[in-house]
Amino acid sequence: MGESANTVQNGKFLSFFLGQDEYGVEILSVQEITGVLPVSPLPRAPQHILGVTNLRGKIVPVVDLRIKLGLGPCTQTPLSCLIVVRAHGADAAVLVDSVNDVRSASPDEIQPLPALNSEKDAAFSSAIGRPGGKIKLLLNLEKLLTKEDMAVVEQNLHPSL
């Protein structure tokens, strides 16, 4: 998996929690972090797409990252938030249990994952070893949020497309 060195191009990523597990996304793909906003459901949307929200006049899909990764639905708490990210040239909001902080990683801390056996696992691009034995998984948003996920909003707003 030769892309692992490029996964964190500037050496920084945003870390967040889904349950007890810590994940990360490249900081350059994060547009903003916001509290949970009202979501309007979309008919015929996949289960992991909760619907859409209005983010300062822009309609963006809201993805429950726990469902997308097969971890079960998010139980919203006061710490739950939306991370607005950019993938496939469009914005999406991913629902997470809580945001941790921005972390730096040197190239030698980024290790490729072992062979992956499922399409769901392919959403992970690399692992980072941390002191204390924790492993943080970096998510590749271009693989995790598919073009079909991003097109759901357009298909519902403009059914003739």
Superfamily classification of domain 12-113+128-157: CheA-289, Domain 4 (2.40.50.180)
The per-residue pLDDT for range 16-42, each reduced to its tens digit, is 999 888 888 889 889 999 999 999 998
**Closest Cα partner for 77 from 18, 10, 4?**
18
Q: Is the dihedral angle over the CA atoms 125, 119, 62, 60 positive or is it negative?
A: positive
Whether this model's pTM surpasses 0.85: no
